Amino acid sequence: MLNASEYSRYSRHLLLDDFDEHAQRRLNNAKVTLFGVGGLGCQVASALAAAGVGEMVLIDDDTIEISNLPRQWLFTEKDIGQKKAEVARTRLLAMQSACTFHCITNFNDIAARDAHLTTSPLIIDCTDSFTSRLAINALAVTHSVPLISAAASGFIATATAFNPEISGPCYACPEYNSEQSLTCFEQGIFSPVVAIAGQLQAMMALSYLSGIRNPEWGSLHHFNGQNLLMRQFNIQKNPDCPTCSKIHRSEDHAHSL
């Protein structure tokens, strides 16, 4: 099924007990929508492209600034002032020419975004604002697409996969306090923590897309960069959640028919 070049390229994955040609082909045929090509997005897009994911939508209207360079490793000093999504596509294509990249650099281009969402089996949220995470979560719920979300600030990285249509909560289910809504712009960020958060997202995405393992939907993975401890919490589903409770109501309705 794979040709000799592909066998050689993906040989270290193919040696894994859980991974085979079919898993690799599933990655080659997968399409992913990434919101944000900053610190998290550079990590996720690089890992997915290197692993052979076939199609990626990169959504980001931001331009590269010098303060981005410690965390956003796809970019160089020469890229300052250019669009993140477009520079990332150039770098990622040099790494993986078989991947098709679509860039959306205007958040108001809703038609283009939604056209991709209808054909994308997975959304990965790599934005750094609480408001945008809630909006992307609402899109994922509306389009019935699983969502992998992450955050990094200070020395803390968190990552969670959501699929409320199958089980567990959505991103909007918990009650957040004001400190949790701070961005790295406001709170500072230790650069390697961003890489860990992004690679946690990549780990869940590649496992899911290859078919080797589904994420534990609604399980929050929490990494503390000061003591290097990893912990896990289950986020509770909120039956009154303004975003996903409609799904539950429709399920209840379906069961009552």
Among 48, 51, 152, 172, binds Zn ion (CB under 5 A): 172
Distance CA 193, CA 41 (A): 13
- Least separation, in Å, of the C-beta of 173 and Zn ion? 4
- Least separation, in Å, of the C-beta of 255 and Zn ion? 19
Site for Zn ion in 23-42 (CB under 5 A): none
- Least separation, in Å, of the C-beta of 249 and Zn ion? 12
Nearer to Zn ion, 124 or 141 (CB): 141
The site for Zn ion, by CB under 5 A, has a size of: 6
Nearer to Zn ion, 102 or 248 (CB): 248
- Least separation, in Å, of the C-beta of 248 and Zn ion? 9
Contact status: 49 vs Zn ion (CB under 5 A)? no
Contact status: 173 vs Zn ion (CB under 5 A)? yes
Region from 28-36, 175-183, 213-221, 239-247 binding Zn ion, contact rule CB under 5 A: 239-247
Binding site for Zn ion (CB under 5 A): 170, 172-173, 241, 243-244
